[in-house]
Chains A and B, each alone.
Chain A
Amino acid sequence: MRSALLGTLALVFGACGGAVPTSETDASPWFEEGARAAGLSFEHRSGHDREFYTPEVVSGGVALFDHDDDGRLDVYLVQAGSLLVPREERPGNRLFRNLGGRRFEDVTAGSGASDQGYGIGVAAGDADNDGRCDLYVTNLGPNVLLRNERGEAFEDVTGAAGVGDPGFGSSAAFFDYDLDGDLDLFVANYLIWSVESEQPCSNGLGQRDYCAPAVYNAPAVDVLYRNAGDGSFEDVTVEAGIDAAFGTGLGVVCGDFDGDGFPDVFVANDGRLDQLWMNEGGRRFQDRALALGCAMDQDGRAKAGMGVTAADLDSDGDLDVLVSNLRRETDSLYRNDGDYFTDVTARSGLGLVSRSFTRFGTGWADFDNDSWLDLYQANGRVASDVDGHGSSDPLAEPNLLFRGGPGMSFQECEPRGGTRELLVHTSRGAAFGDLDNDGGIDLVVANRDAAPYLLWNRAVRGRWLSVRVLDAEGRDALGAQVQVVFGERTLRREVRSAYSYCSASDARAHFGLGSGTSAVRLEVRWPDGEVLEREVSQLDRVLEVRPSGLPDPSEKR
């Protein structure tokens, strides 16, 4: 017995350093935080004081988009401010121009980009077909469409466009649901909420805290705007059937989940059934999430969905979905099996680690260019009812980085979150993109009541190809499908900006190709059905492709 017990105690109490899963190891970090050094000077303000107003705990969007068409992604950060002061007294959102050389300049002043609503999130897309990327900002209160004026300034065209939904907007997505060549707009609403309708709630420690959404009995309808093509939009929520289900929408991703050529919409709802709005011929939508097995997890729990992303993770030709959820709930990884979705979270390796955090921003990207999609998750609690992570902010949590591998498998990377020093804040939106065009996907993460993270990709990386798919108007062809074939591998991406949480990411289709690849077969399928196929032997660059009849593809490095 003695030896058995000695063994036990040695195992349990033995190492002073401990077998901490996130301990510092020799693993070289994939990211280096450099927001301040790069000039991204921004401090989010939730406005939280003594009261606990729900919008304070969900605000925090970021957009990566090329506002001046110089080939470099600029950064737009959504600001909140106090809920109790007039709009004009709020600090407003900020636009940072990418100067190259890993430097940014705040160009907000005089640009018209600084909406002063109580900001929650942002979507990016060319709403008026002028080839420039516009911004749609979701607020508590009327949302705002900011038209990009020749890459020099922004104009608030919300009124003329008719897209100022007054609800509690969260994530939004531009997509062409009716395939008429212009971008329509889907806006998720979280709750029907006002300062007056706030309720007193307590956490498990008996202290005042933020309420769960169910407390309000106030789920909301999401909104679908159809682009009329003349600068205005029509609210087609009812006509399209989107009003058939209510939710507490926080995350949105659009994609063609059933392969019928029409983009569908997945909405992650907080504590209610998630929705998969299947597009029926570009006219109506039907929520089929429950029938298809992606409304709730395997054993019938509607989790607190926050962020969402989609990709063909298993390279079988259809889109799989990942929903990030609340602490003590695992992520929900739904594998698309054609006729239905299968919850494969447990076998993916995402279960146990993710369960310890409240995950918001989430996205798949091949950070090390080994050809397998990795995963980054931006975390932060919504209630301070357990011991914190050593931060003065009781909601703060470390973020997570997972290395992807074959068979839809993931393994957490060390050091935790991918940075040498553990970063601990209350993270919300996360946007993904190659900010320095070096072939590595970088990140900008919005943090509540703190500066954002700018995570430069420093991973040892394989070869890569980034494909910017443009349409006839010269804008990102959202919804186009890009396939790359090399060796035994076939990788597919959709041209997409809206996923994660309240954020807009680089719309270029990025492919990591591993180390030994020298050429790939590229196929691009535009939403109108046109297909381009070509061999690409020059890798490690950004390739720009346009539909036929337009100038030959230009190639950038």
Chain B
Amino acid sequence: MSSRIQRTSACRALVLGVGLLVAGGCGGGEVGPGSGPAPQERVSAPRPESFEGLDPKAVELIQAAAEAVDGEPADAAVWGQLAQVYHAHRRFGLAADCYRQALVRDPQDARSWYLLSRVEDQLGETDAALEHLRECARYEDYPPAHWRLGYLLLARGELDSAEEAMREAMAQAPHDAAAVVGLARIVLQQGRASDAVTLLEEHLRRVPRDAHAKVLFGTALREVGRGEEAARLLAGGEGGAPIQSDPWEQSMLSLRQGFRTDFLRAVRWLDAGEVDRAVVALEQLLARSPDDVLVLINLHRGYRMQGKLNEAIELLARARRIEPLRDVVHLHLAGAFWEQAWLGREEPDVSLLGLALQSAREACELSPTYAAAHAMHGDVLEDLGRPEAAAEAFAQAARLDSTSAPWQLRAGHALCELNRWADAVPLLEQHGRLEPDSVKGLFLLSAALANSGRLEEATAPLERARQLSPKDPVLLDAIADLEHRKAQGAVEGQPQ
């Protein structure tokens, strides 16, 4: 990033003077640039009417930042800091007010223009948000300012200007995912689907895991008539959050304090595999709030990852006592008992499986349409040697969430095991749409079709599986078997 305009103290003084001159007669107020009267220069920090809902650590941070402003009211930086503290804690009106104060004092502060624009977007003041993104871009090359401008212009239907903004972002950061995907969205809206395909193909070569871009790619493919490829990409439903790298916003958000913030941070560590760090943080949170069921559940996850299964189960039992109607507690309890039933054994402990079954059933009864609960129920039933009931549970999970590939496969497999081939076909077909390159799925689909009497249809998935895994002996046997059955069928079908 480079600063486009060199700041000098003389310039700053001049600007401040102009700002005061212009702002002087407007009478202050909270509404600011582009959407109402300009702010009068304040000499003390604004404070919230109430601190309700704020964690004591957040209150402390706000008070410290406000006192800094009171001590140095002419300093733009302290106003900017207070603005960010309010912004991080979603006190948007106060944040906007403080950003404007910072900008009266330093109108070339790109970051304050940018963050002010983010606040205004939250407040629905989109005209001002647009204008202030442009202001930001005057003073610093910050790609997110351009792509956010592009997205806002796209939402406003100003497609040419939006494209210009996205291209500017890409000029600064050619592979910025948010800019590339944004440009693809714009050209799609302009009816230039083939351009979108080119952009997204290239992007997905670089970032193959960008699920968000994959769905957009599916949309673009459909519009250029590549329907089959599109259907495969779109069958999985939602693509997930877009990849957006925005260091200024991240830095502002890192100011957020409070129990919930600490909790979410710990869960992120847990999800990222930083288990020990997460467990320490969650234990501290539990000490602060011993009855918080979400903390108990996530600490249980941490303990399980550390192999401390008994402690994990104890935590869940405690969570169950606190909130006996929370389905997810029963679901996790079922999972923990299930794991314990197998721990260090060749055969599962049936009494522990019984406890797992009880918890899984409880979760299903509390939330009859909770797909994960039915899948868990199926797992336990299968281990208890009840394949019919297990297959029904898997099928229910698959029906409840038709975009979950594992559950389609699990249900299809279970039904195949029961020789319910025809019932398995639609589940395995759906699995094939979600995971077209799954050898196991293709093999099972072929088997289900063949055993449902659909021998001709059974060939294609098996051939596809062989392409993916050419030397797999099971597949080679299956192909030979299928050919044999088809030949036999042809002979039997001949007129006598």
Chain A residues close to B by CB (< 8 Å): 1-2, 5-6, 8-14, 16-21, 192, 196-197, 199, 202-207, 216-221, 243-246, 273, 290-291, 293, 295-296, 298-302, 328, 330, 340, 342-344, 346-349, 351-353, 355-357, 385-387, 409
Chain B contacts for A21, CB-based, 8 A? 127
- A330 and B26 within 8 A (CB): no
- A347 and B189 within 8 A (CB): yes
State in angstroms the CA–CA spacing of A330 and B403 once bound together: 24
* Minimum Cβ distance to chain B for residue A555 (Å): 42
* Minimum Cβ distance to chain A for residue B108 (Å): 8
Given A299-B216, A300-B239, A387-B123 in contact, is the A18-B31 Cβ separation under 8 Å? yes
Chain B residues close to A by CB (< 8 Å): 5, 11, 14-15, 18-19, 22-23, 25-27, 31-39, 52-55, 89-93, 107, 122-124, 126-127, 131-132, 135, 138, 152, 154-157, 159, 181, 185-186, 188-190, 211-212, 214-216, 218-219, 222-223, 231, 234-235, 237-240, 242, 258, 260, 325-328, 366-370, 372-373, 399-400, 402-403
CB closest chain-B residue, reference A398: B124
- A16 and B135 within 8 A (CB): no
Chain A contacts for B402, CB-based, 8 A? 244-245
State in angstroms the CA–CA spacing of A246 and B397 once bound together: 11
- A13 and B155 within 8 A (CB): no
Chain A contacts for B403, CB-based, 8 A? 273
Chain B contacts for A10, CB-based, 8 A? 22
Chain A contacts for B325, CB-based, 8 A? 196-197
- B107 and A300 within 8 A (CB): no
Chain B contacts for A387, CB-based, 8 A? 92-93, 123
CB closest chain-B residue, reference A9: B22
State in angstroms the CA–CA spacing of A416 and B325 once bound together: 45
Chain A contacts for B159, CB-based, 8 A? 346-347
Chain B contacts for A330, CB-based, 8 A? 155
State in angstroms the CA–CA spacing of A349 and B158 once bound together: 9
- A386 and B92 within 8 A (CB): yes
- A351 and B38 within 8 A (CB): no
- A246 and B219 within 8 A (CB): no
What are 24 residue pairs bridging A and B, where the CB atoms are less than 8 Å apart in the complex?
A9-B107, A10-B22, A12-B38, A18-B31, A18-B37, A19-B35, A20-B36, A197-B366, A204-B90, A206-B55, A207-B53, A216-B367, A273-B237, A290-B235, A290-B237, A296-B237, A298-B216, A340-B222, A344-B189, A348-B157, A349-B156, A352-B156, A352-B157, A353-B126
State in angstroms the CA–CA spacing of A290 and B235 once bound together: 7
- B400 and A219 within 8 A (CB): yes
State in angstroms the CA–CA spacing of A491 and B402 once bound together: 39
CB closest chain-A residue, reference B181: A299
- A300 and B216 within 8 A (CB): yes
- B212 and A299 within 8 A (CB): yes
Chain B contacts for A243, CB-based, 8 A? 399
- A356 and B124 within 8 A (CB): yes
Q: Which 9 residue pairs spanning A and B have beta carbons closest together?
A: A300-B215, A356-B124, A13-B38, A300-B239, A351-B155, A206-B53, A18-B36, A12-B33, A207-B53
Chain B contacts for A203, CB-based, 8 A? 53
Chain B contacts for A6, CB-based, 8 A? 18, 22
Chain A contacts for B156, CB-based, 8 A? 349, 351-352
* Minimum Cβ distance to chain A for residue B4 (Å): 11
- B35 and A18 within 8 A (CB): yes
Chain B contacts for A221, CB-based, 8 A? 369
Chain A contacts for B123, CB-based, 8 A? 386-387
State in angstroms the CA–CA spacing of A301 and B181 once bound together: 14
Chain A contacts for B54, CB-based, 8 A? 205-206
Chain A contacts for B18, CB-based, 8 A? 2, 5-6, 9
One of B185, B190, B260, B369 near A298 (C-beta < 8 A): B185
State in angstroms the CA–CA spacing of A18 and B22 once bound together: 13
* Minimum Cβ distance to chain A for residue B206 (Å): 18
State in angstroms the CA–CA spacing of A20 and B120 once bound together: 13
One of B53, B238, B366 near A205 (C-beta < 8 A): B53
Chain A contacts for B138, CB-based, 8 A? 8
- B157 and A5 within 8 A (CB): no
State in angstroms the CA–CA spacing of A492 and B400 once bound together: 37
CB closest chain-A residue, reference B331: A217
State in angstroms the CA–CA spacing of A293 and B230 once bound together: 10
State in angstroms the CA–CA spacing of A219 and B374 once bound together: 14
* Number of A-B residue pairs having CB atoms within 8 Å of each other in the complex: 193
- A202 and B260 within 8 A (CB): yes
State in angstroms the CA–CA spacing of A18 and B38 once bound together: 9
* Minimum Cβ distance to chain B for residue A108 (Å): 36
Given A6-B18, A207-B52, A246-B400 in contact, is the A217-B152 Cβ separation under 8 Å? no
Chain B contacts for A197, CB-based, 8 A? 325, 366-367
One of B5, B157, B223, B239 near A342 (C-beta < 8 A): B223
- A352 and B242 within 8 A (CB): no
Chain B contacts for A5, CB-based, 8 A? 11, 14-15, 18, 107
State in angstroms the CA–CA spacing of A251 and B154 once bound together: 27
Interface-central residue, A6, A298, A357, by most chain B CB under 10 Å: A298
Chain B contacts for A216, CB-based, 8 A? 367
State in angstroms the CA–CA spacing of A391 and B91 once bound together: 17
- B219 and A9 within 8 A (CB): no
State in angstroms the CA–CA spacing of A353 and B155 once bound together: 8
Chain A contacts for B26, CB-based, 8 A? 13, 16
Chain B contacts for A352, CB-based, 8 A? 126, 152, 155-157
- A13 and B33 within 8 A (CB): yes
Given A218-B367, A246-B400, A290-B237 in contact, is the A356-B326 Cβ separation under 8 Å? no
Chain A contacts for B36, CB-based, 8 A? 16-18, 20
* Minimum Cβ distance to chain B for residue A405 (Å): 12
CB closest chain-A residue, reference B104: A13
- B90 and A217 within 8 A (CB): no
State in angstroms the CA–CA spacing of A204 and B92 once bound together: 11
- B22 and A14 within 8 A (CB): yes
- A1 and B23 within 8 A (CB): no
* Minimum Cβ distance to chain B for residue A328 (Å): 8
- A299 and B215 within 8 A (CB): yes
State in angstroms the CA–CA spacing of A5 and B113 once bound together: 14
CB closest chain-A residue, reference B241: A301
New A-B pairs, 16, CB < 8 Å, besides A13-B23, A14-B22: A6-B22, A12-B131, A204-B90, A205-B91, A206-B54, A206-B55, A217-B370, A246-B400, A296-B238, A298-B216, A300-B214, A300-B218, A300-B239, A301-B238, A328-B122, A355-B124
CB closest chain-A residue, reference B6: A1
Chain A contacts for B107, CB-based, 8 A? 5, 8-9
- B369 and A218 within 8 A (CB): yes
- B90 and A205 within 8 A (CB): yes
State in angstroms the CA–CA spacing of A290 and B233 once bound together: 11
State in angstroms the CA–CA spacing of A343 and B186 once bound together: 12
Chain B contacts for A348, CB-based, 8 A? 157
- A302 and B15 within 8 A (CB): no
CB closest chain-B residue, reference A328: B122
State in angstroms the CA–CA spacing of A273 and B325 once bound together: 27
Chain A contacts for B242, CB-based, 8 A? 299
* Minimum Cβ distance to chain B for residue A233 (Å): 23
Chain A contacts for B27, CB-based, 8 A? 16
One of A192, A293, A340 near B369 (C-beta < 8 A): A192
Chain A contacts for B19, CB-based, 8 A? 9, 13
State in angstroms the CA–CA spacing of A217 and B328 once bound together: 9
Chain A contacts for B152, CB-based, 8 A? 352
CB closest chain-B residue, reference A206: B53
One of A16, A340, A357 near B25 (C-beta < 8 A): A16
Given A192-B368, A355-B126 in contact, is the A291-B400 Cβ separation under 8 Å? no
One of B238, B240, B368 near A273 (C-beta < 8 A): B238
- A299 and B237 within 8 A (CB): no
CB closest chain-B residue, reference A389: B124
- A386 and B53 within 8 A (CB): no
Interface-central residue, B188, B369, B402, by most chain A CB under 10 Å: B369
One of B38, B124, B240 near A14 (C-beta < 8 A): B38
Chain A contacts for B238, CB-based, 8 A? 273, 296, 300-302
Chain B contacts for A218, CB-based, 8 A? 367-370
